[in-house]
């Protein structure tokens, strides 16, 4: 007997699933229609297939918007009967994180990819004219394959895709509550978002990255169209602006990911060579190489096959990157990879579709391809641009080969292990490629297409290289790169040379050769990016040096080096390098637990030169099953000061308080045994972390909620506590009421003290004060790591400059198309 479930909101899910099926059908209609439209003889003037293809694609676009609206409605309203909403949201999640929850899961990522591809497809319908039919055939096919990824239906024993509208009770979870019609009454909240994803960068980084992935289909579609329609040369100029756009957006998305890691993750840097990070770079490197060879072919007629191959393989690598990140194969080697949703072979099929089509076309058209029989001149720009592109491709191949170790193990049954120190391993090998590439981005600026005056080239390039060497020597001395291996100094030289040589081209552009400005600006940005990354990563300095010998714990030492982490007790300043740092307190904002770290730096004259507070945080999801430490950074012009909490007892203490375990009537266990002191007014009591002064006696003291009758006596001891440069006031009270004596102690939490007015000693003219101190183990503390990143702004500035260069190049190439 079927259970009549209560309280479920089934309409948005059913409507959303309808739109999923409609998107699939519409993309299939568009693909078939555009295919036959492309096969038609254009001169017959029959546009029926073309119109049907457009209608299908527009219907696909509307369907995607419908899917997005339904899914967002479910997420925003916390309909936890849906597996997607329950898995990635919670009631306490702020609205801006609810927006990012849309693409937090695999299904949402595919939807975002489909959305951007739909946007680009509509632009292509508007702009491409004679290319619309063959180009949109490929784009529609890509939409069709993506639609199957979110279909979530069973065909016999085969499960196709994973639907974002899957109900929790149908998700395969074996839970007794689903036997109850009102099971929703037991589900009070969702699992919540992974704490490391609760950051504003996750609102903007994935949409940018997926726009880059979606944009990669456009140059691929032009290359397929050129081969298919035998318009071998014509597609190149059409594809260049779109290739520039794809490189710009995907590159920006990758750097946004680096900035997110730097700002929000606690591994102390902006790039860790994580397998999923590497995978995002594959298609970018390949298309950048392809873009340069496209320009070589456009200007010289050489390297047609290489240009076509690189453009085609770049989109195949988009699918391979998705396979690595989403198939579950990297589950044990990457913290960023998704778990398998049964889509392993589905993703493999996607790779094969977009691999086999270009392979077939290249083989079947091989004899017709405009492959030049004449070699390029050695002293020509196109030759060395080609060489540079080859090294970009080799750089990508090395990343693919070693990142794919889990794939090789799965295919061949081997037990290969990834590099032990993958950061050092990749840094060394990729630096070798980067040296050659940066030098070539400089050298090619002194070469001309087809043939160059050798003597003039050698003199000019030599002069600029010499100047670059002087600048590099000065930079190495100032920044401390001279303490690094020679390999990195050579990379610094190559990067500086690239900036200087392209700076010369930019200067010429300002004199009238403006068409060269875009590439020069992009190369300058890339050079500055590498300079910033090299200096920041190579000369970063841990300033939280632990000289106490404290090891913390064996578990801590597995993740962190105790020598690079200092212990801060609340309100006890510690000298850390040039700074005096104090843990002044903590605050809770939703699921975020902020720790206030007061930094102070004194000049030689004793005056305060800097005074600021950083607020690193620890974020947990709503059920406490996951936590993430997020740093805070003080930005300077020439360096960043990066601070994050690596351990604390604050969360443990407060959780116990929340659970009701610290509400004791006798809190003596929280303090060391009392030490009694007999003092008169003006006397001083010394204790472990400061001193206490009895300033006076308040003979009119009052005790809250206790009325005083005639004959009752209440005296308050006015105490002033001095500890770690701070002063606190406390007034414990001694009360005689009737024939009974009471004392009301006062706690100073920040000082770890409890003060008790124990006795009045009239014969001595004194009173007795008992001082209770918290043991070190009971005091709130944090363990802090602080890192200085010198000159990292070169990296971020280089990124912005590179994007500007891409934009300038896009405008130039679009202008050339209009002229034609």
Per-residue pLDDT at 332: 64
Per-residue pLDDT at 660: 40
Only one residue has tokens 């005074």, namely 611
Considering 197-211, 239-253, 509-523, the range whose residues carry the highest mean pLDDT is 239-253
pLDDT digits (tens, 9 = 90+) for 457-487: 889 889 999 999 999 999 888 888 777 888 9
Give the number of C-alpha atoms closer than 13 A to the C-alpha of residue 639, restricted to the C-beta side. 14
Mean pLDDT score, 613-636: 78
pLDDT digits (tens, 9 = 90+) for 1-39: 478 889 899 999 999 999 999 999 999 999 999 999 999
Mean pLDDT score, 103-127: 94
Which of the residue ranges 294-298, 333-337, 367-371 would you say has the lowest mean pLDDT? 333-337
Per-residue pLDDT at 624: 52
Closest by Cα among 312, 335, 344 to 149: 344
Residue 269 above 80 pLDDT? no
Token pair in block for residue 340: 């398998």
Per-residue pLDDT at 769: 93
Mean pLDDT score, 45-63: 94
Task: Please state, for a pLDDT cut of 70, what percent of the chain lies above it.
Answer: 93
Task: Please state, as a whole number, how many other Cβ atoms lie within 10 Å of the Cβ of residue 155.
Answer: 8
Question: What is the b/e burial string over 412-443, where b = at least 16 CB atoms within 10 angstroms of the residue's CB?
Answer: eeeeeeeeeebeeebbeebbbbbbbbbbbbbb
Considering 59-73, 325-339, 672-686, 739-753, the range whose residues carry the highest mean pLDDT is 59-73
DSSP collapsed to 3 states, 778-820:
HCCEEEEEEEEEECCHHHHHHHHHHHHHHHHHHHHHHHHHHHC
pLDDT category of residue 199 using cuts at 50, 70 and 90: confident
Residue 153 above 90 pLDDT? no
Considering 327-336, 353-362, 647-656, the range whose residues carry the highest mean pLDDT is 353-362
pLDDT category of residue 42 using cuts at 50, 70 and 90: low
pLDDT category of residue 414 using cuts at 50, 70 and 90: confident
Answer yes or no: are the C-beta atoms of 799 and 247 closer than 8 Å: no
CB within 8 Å of 789: residues ≥ 6 apart: 536, 540, 639, 640, 642
Give the dihedral sign, CA 49/55/59/60.
positive
CA–CA separation, 308 and 364 (whole Å) = 14
Closest by Cα among 485, 497, 575 to 539: 485
Q: Which long-range contacts (CB under 8 A, 24 or more apart) does 654-661 make?
A: 654/588, 655/624
Residue 380 above 90 pLDDT? no
Answer yes or no: are the C-beta atoms of 315 and 217 closer than 8 Å: yes
CA–CA separation, 423 and 431 (whole Å) = 12
Answer yes or no: are the C-beta atoms of 638 and 790 closer than 8 Å: yes
Residue 383 above 70 pLDDT? yes
Residue 661 above 50 pLDDT? no
Q: What is the mean pLDDT of the chain?
A: 87
CA–CA separation, 678 and 792 (whole Å) = 59
pLDDT digits (tens, 9 = 90+) for 548-599: 887 888 888 888 889 999 999 888 889 998 899 999 888 887 777 899 999 9
CA–CA separation, 777 and 553 (whole Å) = 14
Task: Please state, for a pLDDT cut of 90, what percent of the chain lies above it.
Answer: 50
Give bridge partners of residue 160 from the DSSP assignment: 153
Per-residue pLDDT at 397: 95
pLDDT category of residue 626 using cuts at 50, 70 and 90: low
Residue 663 above 50 pLDDT? no
Mean pLDDT score, 793-813: 92
DSSP SS3 for 739: coil
Mean pLDDT score, 517-524: 92
Residue 331 above 80 pLDDT? no
DSSP SS3 for 156: coil
Which of the residue ranges 208-222, 405-419, 665-679 would you say has the lowest mean pLDDT? 665-679
353 CB-contact burial (10 Å; exposed 0-12 / middle 13-18 / buried 19+): middle
Give the number of C-alpha atoms closer than 13 A to the C-alpha of residue 161, restricted to the C-beta side. 24
DSSP SS3 for 722: strand
Per-residue pLDDT at 178: 87
User: pTM of the full predicted structure?
Assistant: 0.85
CA torsion angle 65 67 70 75 (round to 10): -100
DSSP SS3 for 501: helix
Question: What is the b/e burial string over 668-689, where b = at least 16 CB atoms within 10 angstroms of the residue's CB?
Answer: eebbeebeebebeeeeebebeb
Q: What is the largest CA-CA distance in the chain?
A: 121
Give bridge partners of residue 306 from the DSSP assignment: none
């Amino acid at each position: 007997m079927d259970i009549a479930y209560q309280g479920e909101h089934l309409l948005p899910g059913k409507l959303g699933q309808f739109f999923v099926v409609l998107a699939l059908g519409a993309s299939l209609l568009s693909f078939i229609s555009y295919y036959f439209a492309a096969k038609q003889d254009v001169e017959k003037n029959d546009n029926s297939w073309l119109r049907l293809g457009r209608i299908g694609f527009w219907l696909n676009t509307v369907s995607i918007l419908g899917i997005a609206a339904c899914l967002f409605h479910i997420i925003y309203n916390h309909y936890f009967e849906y597996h997607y909403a329950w898995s990635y949201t919670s009631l306490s999640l702020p609205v801006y994180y609810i927006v990012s929850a849309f693409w937090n899961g695999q299904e949402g990522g595919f939807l975002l990819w489909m959305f951007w591809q739909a946007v680009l497809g509509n632009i292509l319908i508007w702009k491409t004219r004679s290319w619309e039919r063959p180009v949109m055939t490929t784009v529609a096919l890509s939409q069709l394959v993506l639609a199957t990824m979110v279909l979530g239906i069973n065909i016999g024993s085969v499960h196709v895709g994973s639907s974002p509208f899957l109900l929790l009770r149908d998700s395969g979870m074996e839970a007794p509550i689903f036997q109850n019609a009102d099971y929703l009454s037991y589900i009070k909240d969702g699992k919540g978002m992974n704490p490391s994803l609760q950051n504003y960068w996750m609102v903007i980084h994935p949409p940018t990255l997926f726009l880059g992935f979606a944009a990669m289909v456009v140059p691929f579609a032009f290359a397929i169209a050129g081969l298919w329609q035998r318009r071998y040369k014509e597609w190149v100029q059409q594809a260049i602006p779109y290739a520039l756009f794809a490189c710009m957006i995907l590159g920006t998305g990758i750097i946004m990911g680096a900035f997110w890691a730097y700002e929000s993750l606690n591994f102390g840097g902006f790039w860790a060579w994580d397998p999923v990070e590497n995978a995002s770079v594959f298609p970018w490197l390949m298309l950048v190489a392809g873009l340069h060879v496209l320009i070589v072919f456009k200007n010289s007629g050489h390297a047609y096959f290489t240009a076509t191959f690189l453009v085609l393989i770049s989109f195949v690598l988009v699918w391979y990157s998705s396979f690595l990140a989403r198939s579950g194969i990297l589950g044990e080697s990457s913290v960023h990879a998704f778990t398998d949703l049964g889509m392993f072979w589905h993703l493999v099929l996607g790779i094969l579709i977009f691999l086999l089509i270009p392979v077939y076309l290249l083989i079947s058209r091989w004899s017709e391809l405009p492959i030049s029989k004449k070699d390029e001149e050695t002293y020509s720009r196109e030759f060395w641009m080609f060489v540079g592109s080859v090294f970009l491709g080799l750089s990508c191949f090395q990343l693919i080969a070693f990142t794919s170790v889990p794939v090789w193990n799965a295919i061949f049954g081997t037990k290969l292990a990834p590099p032990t120190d993958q950061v050092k391993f990749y840094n060394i090998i990729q630096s070798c490629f980067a040296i050659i590439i940066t030098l070539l981005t400089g050298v090619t600026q002194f070469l001309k297409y087809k043939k160059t005056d050798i003597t003039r080239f050698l003199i000019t390039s030599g002069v600029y290289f010499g100047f670059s060497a002087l600048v590099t020597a000065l930079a190495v001395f100032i920044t401390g790169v001279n303490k690094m291996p020679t390999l990195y100094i050579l990379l610094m030289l190559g990067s500086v040379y690239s900036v200087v040589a392209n700076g010369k081209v930019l200067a010429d552009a300002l004199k009238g050769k403006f068409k060269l400005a875009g590439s020069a600006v992009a190369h300058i940005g890339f050079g500055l990016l590498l300079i910033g990354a090299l200096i920041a990563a190579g000369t970063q300095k841990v300033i939280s040096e632990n000289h106490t010998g404290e090891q913390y714990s064996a578990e801590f030492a597995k993740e962190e080096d105790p020598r690079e982490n200092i212990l801060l007790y609340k309100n006890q300043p510690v000298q850390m390098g040039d700074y005096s740092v104090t843990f002044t307190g903590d605050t809770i904002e939703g699921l975020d637990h902020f720790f206030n770290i007061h930094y102070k730096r004194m000049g030689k004259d004793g005056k305060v030169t800097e005074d600021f507070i950083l607020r690193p945080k620890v974020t947990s999801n709503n059920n406490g099953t996951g936590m993430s430490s997020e740093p805070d950074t003080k930005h300077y012009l020439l360096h960043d000061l990066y601070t994050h909490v690596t351990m604390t007892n604050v969360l443990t203490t407060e959780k116990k308080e929340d659970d009701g375990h610290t509400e004791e009537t006798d809190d003596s266990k929280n303090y060391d045994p009392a030490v009694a002191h007999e003092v008169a007014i003006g006397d001083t009591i010394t204790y472990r972390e400061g001193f206490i002064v009895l300033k006076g006696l308040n003979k009119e003291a009052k005790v809250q909620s206790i009325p005083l009758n005639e004959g009752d006596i209440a005296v308050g001891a006015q105490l002033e506590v001095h500890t770690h440069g701070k002063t606190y006031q406390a007034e414990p009270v001694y009360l005689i009421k009737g024939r009974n004596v009471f004392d009301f102690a006062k706690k100073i939490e920040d000082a770890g003290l409890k003060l008790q007015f124990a006795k009045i000693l009239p014969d001595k003219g004194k009173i007795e004060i008992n001082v209770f101190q918290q043991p070190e183990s009971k005091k709130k503390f944090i363990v802090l790591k602080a890192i200085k990143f010198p000159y990292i702004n070169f990296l971020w500035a280089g990124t912005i400059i590179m994007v500007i260069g891409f934009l300038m190049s896009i405008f130039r190439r679009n202008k050339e198309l209009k002229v034609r």
